[in-house]
């Protein structure tokens, strides 16, 4: 059973119900193919890695922890039973172990403090899990994947995933995060694996924000523009992520003082349910009011700023953004 190929057809993380429905589809597939999975324990374990991820995304950390524990046990059993079979040890067993490490690391990072001060509750006698283990898991996953690059970089998508997660959890500042992401981008650019190439859009977006937070707007803009190009080429094509990439370009242009260019992009993006687009339009129109040639134009720009500020305020969910950002919108909405 080619579980690695089957899983992407059943997984869809997007949307509030994405993880829940994904877990349901994965469990249904396991049930419908129970006899086949009984003969392929590593394939079943690979499915469980993604069930654990779905559980974690739903906040069901205790259940996810028990699921991922079952994956570990299955991999260790396979490695013991096939200790002399290098095709298994270096093939399916290694891939599933890498995916176990990725999801175990993600689970700890999602549930706890990245400095290791958080411990799980109600885990039925499980050991405390600290997020320092998360870093160790991602590092180990990346090391195992590098051994696989001799196999025509078949494990490179998981290597990139591990580096992407290290950029999130193993960092002291934007510089260290940018370094991890830069390494992942280099691997993507050299890889011939389409799954690895498909990571570029997300990585370039993340890299752009790291550079943005460092104040290197020129480099950030370059990264954001490259992200747009990659989103256009992505398979499957995703209009939402392309719009996000365009939004990032516009946000960077605003920071660089090119208000007209930024607004042109923001006006090209769909407004419906796009709270961040409305927020940016409000700010941009406010900035343009200071450049207006007469009072009529000033009133027009401020009126538009107020309109979009009110829309943004009505769409933001509780605790979605900082109080500082909300206050800016409140002042523009008066």
Instruction: Cite the DSSP H helix spans in the chain.
Output: 3-10, 18-32, 34-38, 41-57, 61-81, 86-89, 92-111, 131-147, 156-169, 174-190, 194-197, 200-213, 217-233, 239-255, 259-268, 275-289, 295-315, 323-333
Q: What are 40-54's pLDDT values in tens digits?
A: 999 999 999 999 999
Q: What are 282-309's pLDDT values in tens digits?
A: 999 999 999 989 999 999 999 999 999 9
Residue whose tokens read 């992401």: 181
Choose among 166, 139, 236: nearest CA to 194.
236
Q: What are 227-277's pLDDT values in tens digits?
A: 999 999 988 889 999 999 999 999 999 999 999 999 999 999 997 668 999
- Could you tell me the pTM of the whole model? 0.85
> Above 60 in pLDDT, residue 112?
no
Task: Quote the pLDDT of residue 81.
Answer: 87
Task: Quote the pLDDT of residue 129.
Answer: 45
Task: Give the CA diameter of the chain.
Answer: 82
> Would you list the domain boundaries of the chain?
1-151, 181-269, 271-334
Does the domain at residues 181-269 carry the CATH identifier 1.10.8?
no
> Lowest-pLDDT range, 72-86, 202-216, 237-251, 289-303?
72-86
């Amino acid at each position: 059973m080619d579980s690695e190929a089957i899983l992407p057809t059943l997984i869809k993380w997007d949307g509030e119900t994405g993880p829940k429905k994904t877990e349901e589809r994965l469990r249904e597939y396991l049930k419908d193919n129970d006899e086949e999975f009984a003969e392929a324990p590593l394939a079943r374990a690979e499915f469980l890695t993604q069930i654990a991820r779905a559980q974690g995304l739903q906040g069901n950390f205790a259940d996810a922890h028990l699921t991922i524990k079952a994956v570990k046990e299955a991999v260790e059993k396979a490695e013991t039973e096939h200790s002399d079979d290098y095709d298994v040890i270096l093939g399916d067993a290694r891939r599933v172990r890498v995916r176990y490490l990725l999801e175990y690391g993600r689970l700890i990072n999602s549930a706890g403090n990245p400095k290791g001060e958080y411990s799980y509750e109600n885990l039925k006698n499980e050991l405390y899990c600290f997020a320092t283990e998360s870093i160790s898991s991602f590092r180990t996953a990346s090391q195992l994947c590098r051994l696989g690059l001799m196999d025509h970089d078949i494990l490179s998508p998981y290597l990139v995933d591990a580096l992407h997660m290290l950029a999130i959890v193993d960092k002291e500042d934007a510089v260290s995060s940018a370094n991890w992401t830069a390494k992942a981008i280099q691997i993507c650019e050299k890889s011939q694996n389409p799954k690895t190439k498909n990571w570029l859009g997300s990585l370039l977006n993340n890299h752009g924000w790291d550079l943005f937070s460092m104040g290197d707007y020129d480099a950030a803009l370059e990264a954001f523009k490259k992200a747009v190009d990659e989103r256009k080429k992505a398979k499957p094509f995703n209009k939402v992520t392309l719009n996000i990439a365009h939004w990032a370009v516009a946000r960077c242009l605003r920071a660089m003082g090119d208000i007209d260019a930024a607004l042109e992009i923001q006006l090209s993006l769909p407004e419906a349910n796009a709270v961040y687009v409305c927020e940016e339009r409000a700010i941009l129109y406010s900035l343009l009011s200071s450049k207006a040639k007469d009072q009529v134009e000033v009133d027009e720009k401020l009126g538009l700023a107020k309109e979009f500020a009110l829309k943004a305020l009505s769409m933001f969910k509780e605790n979605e953004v900082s109080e500082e950002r909300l206050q800016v919108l409140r002042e523009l909405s008066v």
